[in-house]
Structure 1
């Protein structure tokens, strides 16, 4: 809980400066996709936000994270004096073995009465001595953003209208997104960032993820929904490989101030927002992947054991 509180305090301090992750110039999109090259896991929700902050705070350039045990199983060890990041895993179900009426044992999944939490510590690949260098996949260029967003919008579950007016919003009553004309935006990436934010709101419809969208401007409910839309837009922008340039069509400085109030009142709200943001991103990205027949999962190359890699490098060196 103390680590949660510390993270929230750091993030709210950034918000008071008028910044959120989406407009922090020092970010590299690729580092916003933390994943485990050894277990093939992708870090989600609050853990993703934790590791994103660690990248910003410590200047890591590698998006790969794993536990010491996983590194050691491959023969890799941390550099002297390195410290890991504490993450948490919530467990909501357990497997039980039952006997059916025919006397056969069957395995079933049972929901826990009270969720359990397990903690684990991960280290960035940049903290590991001799770990294979990361090869970043090709990212979307500014010229590709328009086509990318056209495809993403085509998979929307609600109508999206682009009109000659000055507001970007989602209407729950009409279940539609209204955007200004594209030429009103500063650039294509600014358009994309706004689209992702409004599409995130659309998943709150009762026929989809059914969130509370009734809060008026300035209310705690409104701030909570805006926080969810912004975090999910951040996650999706990283997953789509969008460039870091670009601004929201509308000024979000007021939103940032309202978010700090909500988070200071209950620092666990940030982690609830991250969990909901993952559900939002999963739904919208799933629609896109099905429509395009592609996958947005990070590229994970096989990591060779340290000894084999060392022998290979020695052999190659001798041949020169």
Structure 2
């Protein structure tokens, strides 16, 4: 891949993220007191595999901006293979896949640096995908869901096995590193179970940074780079399918 092509991919993805930031977050409502767009981790409709890395953010941004309620995406050809057709005039969303050239040569990169020859190298590939809401003729697969009671029991059991001290009460949710404790409002204060467990597991992901777990630096104050990085970790981890109640 030429360096100019690679730069174009980075630029497109960056511009989409910047545009979303410039639009603003709007009015955020705490889950214990979602505009309907997809909040679960985006998946490829053809392969069933979940998207990773910056692609999660890019697809979330597109879903929120366009009001898509589905988290299923695929390329134009993939939708065709599924018997669906992207509607005329629909705008695609750019995602990026990385490929490792184990040979370490520059056969795929004519602008390669002589100093890096012989080493494994990574190449970015840009792809255009469309949301399920942008196609006609697609019937989503029927998923056999557990009952809500069973899902809540599984979520509670999973949390209990983590061994994190949890205190209920008040009107705030946070993790206290010095006490290895999660504080969260009562279950009854949340609008729905997804709001409760999403918040609980978010704070639990902060708890993974404790010294006896992943040992991350949790000393960053609000507004600092460390604080922002920690929030990004918790938000990214919160997107894991195993923590999603929908």
Same fold by TM-score greater than 0.5: yes
Q: CA deviation at 1:13?
A: 3.6
Summarize the Cα distance change of 1:71–1:170 in structure 2 as closer, same or farther, 3 Å threshold: same
Match for 1:215 among 209, 217, 220? 220
Q: Which runs of 5+ in 2 are unaligned?
A: 1-10, 105-117
State the shift of 1:4 in Å: 1.8
The 1-side partners of 2:242 and 2:212 are apart by: 25
Query: Are 2:77 and 1:69 equivalent residues in the alignment?
Result: yes
Q: Is the 8 A contact 1:145 1:188 kept in 2?
A: no
Highest relative contact order (Cα 8 Å, sep 6+), 1 or 2? 1
- The 2-side partners of 1:152 and 1:239 are apart by 10
Query: In the TM superposition, what is the alpha-carbon distance from 1:136 to its structure 2 partner?
Result: 5.4
Larger radius of gyration: 1
Determine the structure 1 residue equivalent to 2:6: none
CA contact 2:71–2:131 (8 Å) conserved in 1: yes
Which of 224, 232, 236 is matched with 1:227 structurally? 232
Higher relative helix content: 1
CA positional deviation for 1:88: 0.5
- Would the aligned equivalents of 2:37 and 2:70 in 1 still touch at CA under 8 Å? no
Change (3 A) 1:184 1:41: closer
Gaps of 5+ in 1: 98-110, 244-320
TM-score by length of structure 1 reads: 0.55
* Pairwise CA distance, 1:35: 1.4
**Pairing 1:124–2:131 present:** yes
> TM-score normalized by structure 2?
0.69
SS of 1:228's partner is helix
Residue 177 of structure 1 aligns with which residue?
181
Q: What are the superposed Cα offsets for residues 279-300 of structure 1, whole Å, 9 maximum, x if unpaired? A: xxxxxxxxxxxxxxxxxxxxxx
Asked whether the 8 Å contact 2:38–2:60 carries over to 1, the reply is no
CA contact 1:197–1:229 (8 Å) conserved in 2 = yes
Deviation at 1:199, TM superposition (A): 0.7
Query: How far apart in 1 are the matches of 2:245 and 2:63?
Result: 18
Tell me, yes or no, if the aligned pair for 1:170 and 1:201 is still in contact at 8 Å. yes
Going from structure 1 to structure 2, the CA distance change for 1:20 and 1:52 (only over 3 Å counts) comes to farther
The yes-or-no answer on 1:199 pairing with 2:208 is: no
Q: Residue in 2 aligned with 1:283?
A: none
- Following superposition, the deviation at residue 7 of structure 1 comes to 2.0
Shift of 1:85: 1.1
- After superposition, the Cα gap between the structure-2 partners of 1:124 and 1:218, relative to the gap in structure 1 and judged at 3 Å, is closer
Cα separation, 2, equivalents of 1:112 and 1:205:
36
Q: Identify if the C-alpha distance between structure 1 residues 145 and 160 changes in structure 2 by more than 3 Å, giving closer, same or farther.
A: farther
**Would the aligned equivalents of 1:34 and 1:63 in 2 still touch at CA under 8 Å?**
yes
Corresponding residue for 1:87? Answer: 95
1:187/1:145 CA distance change after superposition, 3 Å: farther
Distance 1:129 1:184 in 2: 40
- Cα offsets for 1:241-282 (capped at 9, x unmatched): 436xxxxxxxxxxxxxxxxxxxxxxxxxxxxxxxxxxxxxxx
1:19 aligns with 2:28: yes
Cα distance, 1:10 vs structure 2: 1.4
Alignment of 1:117-156 (within 5 A): 117-135=124-142, 138=145, 141=148, 146-156=152-162
